[in-house]
A and B are shown apart, each in its own frame.
Chain A
Amino acid sequence: MTMTMIFGIPIQALLGQLLVGLINGSFYAMLSLGLAIIFGLLRIINFAHGAQYMLGAFAGYLLLSYLGVGFWAALILAPLIVGLLGIVIERLALSRLYGIDPLYGLLFTFGLALVLEGVFRYYYGVSGNPYAVPPLLAGGTNLGFMFLPNYRAFVVIASLVVCLGTWLAIEKTKFGSYLRAATENPSLVQAFGVNVPLLLTLTYGLGSALAGLAGILAAPVYQVSPLMGSNLIIVVFAVVVVGGMGSILGAIVTGYMLGLAEGLTKVFYPEASNIVIFVIMAIVLLVRPAGLFGKDA
Chain B
Amino acid sequence: MTSSNPLLAVRGLHAWYGESHALHGVDLDVHEGETVTLLGRNGVGKTTTLRAIMGLIRKRTGAITFRGADLMHLPLHGTARAGIGFVPEERGIFVTLTVDENLVLPPVVAKGGMSVEDIFSLFPHLKARRNSPGGKLSGGEQQMLAIARMLRTGVRTLLLDEPTEGLAPVIVQRIGELLATLKKSGMTILLVEQNFRFASRIADRFYLMEHGKVTAGFPVSELEQRMDELHAVLGV
Contact = CB atoms under 8 A, between A and B. Distances in A.
A127 interface: no
A168 interface: no
Interface in A163-201: 174, 177-178, 180-181, 183-185, 187-197
Contacts of A187: 56, 76
Contacts of B96: 180-181, 183-184
B130 to A, nearest CB: 14
Given A180-B96, A180-B97, A184-B94, A196 B105 contact: no
Given A177-B101, A181-B94, A185-B94, A192 B56 contact: no
A189 B56 CA distance: 11
A174 B79 CA distance: 21
Interface residues of A, number: 19
Interface residues of B, number: 23
Contacts of B54: 191
Main secondary structure of the interface of A (DSSP, over half): helix
Nearest to B81: A193
B105 A178 contact: yes
B88 A193 contact: no
B92 A188 contact: yes
A66 to B, nearest CB: 42
Which of B55, B77, B86, B97: most chain A CB closer than 10 A?
A: B77
Contacts of A180: 94, 96-97
6 contacts: A183-B96, A184-B95, A191-B76, A191-B86, A193-B77, A195-B75
A174 B56 CA distance: 23
A188 B79 CA distance: 12
B77 A196 contact: yes
B72 to A, nearest CB: 15
Nearest to B54: A191
B158 to A, nearest CB: 13
A190 B94 contact: no
